[in-house]
Structure formats: C-alpha cells, structure tokens
Amino acid sequence: MSDFVLVHGAWHGAWCWRRVLPGLWAAGHRAFAVSLSGVGERAHQLTPQVGLSTHIDDVAAVIEAEELQRCILVGHSYAGMVITGVAQRQAERIARLVYLDASLPQPGEAWSSAHTPETQAQRRATIARLGHLPASPPDVFGLQAEDAAWVARRMTPQPGGSYDEPLDFDAARIAALPRTFIDCTDPALPTIDRSRRRVRAEPGWQVLEIPTGHDAMVSAPDALLRQLLSLA
C-alpha cells in the first residue's frame, strides 16, 4: 500500500481528482487530494496575500496531520512549485515526486519565471488591478464539450500572490529523491515546454507520456491512474 498526496494546479481544487481517486482507493492505496488556500472549496480564503509559501504550508500540513511517512507527492501544473517546496521541508517523508505536466523550478525561480515577458506583463497588470488571476478558459487545457463545461463551472480565481513569489531550495536535496515527470503531449501546453526540455536534459528523471491535454486527470483519468499505480 502507498500513500498518495495529490495537489492541483492553478484555478483548480481537490475536485479535479474526482475521476482518479476511486481507482487509487480500489487498488488499496490511501490518497489525499488537497485544496490549496484561496481556490476550490477554499475560494472564500482568497486574498492578495495568499502565495506560494501559503500553499506549501497547506500541503505540508496534510502530510503532518495524516502522519504520512513515505508518500508519493503529485503536483499538477503550478503545483510543481508547491511540491518542490514541500520536498525541501519534508524530504524524509516523501518516497517520490511526480510532476504532472508541471512547473519545474530552479532555485530562486517563481511560477512566472517560465512565462514569456508578454505573459508576465499581462498577468502582473491583472494582479495589480484585481489582486488575483481570473481562470483561463478550459480549452487552453485541451478540454472539450462536457469536460470543458465541468471544469469551467468549478474553476476559481488564482491568488495573485502565487505568481511572482520565488522558491529557494537546495537542488541537490530535491534531486536525491526519485522524480517522475508525466508529459501531457496532445495538445502540449506551451507554458510547460521549459519543464519538458529540462527533464529530458537532466539526469535522474523518469519521463512518462500521456497523449492528452494538460488536465489529464479530467481528460484521461484511466491512463493517468495506470501511470500512478505503476509508481506505487
């Protein structure tokens, strides 16, 4: 039996894992889906002050509260930042890091670091005006029809403080953990391109692929479940 901790990306919540969790449970594993502060069912906590460090606290608290010792920590998209920060704090309690089409930071980088200057300027202006980032349309994630409608109904604004907060960590400490990158290739989300290049250029990575869009837990839950089970 393995323990999984599933961390959603920007604008999502624990709800996005609904099609994956039953399969993990049925296989005899424990699985905990975390909703980060300010999004999902915690959208009422949205403030400009909620940032990356808040979200790291959220996930670290679940690991502590559930007394997890050797968990498989899965981060989708933006949550690649989050799980890296959690691993810096709690490496001894993590069996494997799984980056699901996720941001892959270097020390000192922020979520924004992977974006083009044009995207950075646009998002910073939006945050300055609103204090948060409105949700992207689901078709950006390769979702269509009922899947797109399902996600659109549930997405909530992303806390603005999560965009530019840098993450300092010991790269060697993170590299010492088993690490898997799951690449969602059809269609491939352009903002993940730098992560795709990094995992293929750096030693120590296991790279898996799913021919689906960015929200694999929605568009290809069975394929994602098989890959997660293979890592248990």
For residues 116 and 166, give the distance between their C-alpha atoms in angstroms, rounded to a whole number: 17
Question: Quick one: tokens of 115?
Answer: 């974006």
Annotated catalytic, 77? yes
Instruction: Say which of 37, 77, 162, 219 is annotated catalytic.
Output: 77
CB 50 within 8 A of CB 159: yes
Residue with tokens 């400009």: 48
φ/ψ bin of 204: left (φ > 0), alpha (ψ from -120 to 50), beta (otherwise): left
Indicate the burial class of 136 (C-beta count within 10 angstroms; 0-12, 13-18, 19 or more): middle
- Tell me, rounded to whole angstroms, the distance of Cα 199 from its chain centroid: 16
Catalytic (active-site) positions: 77
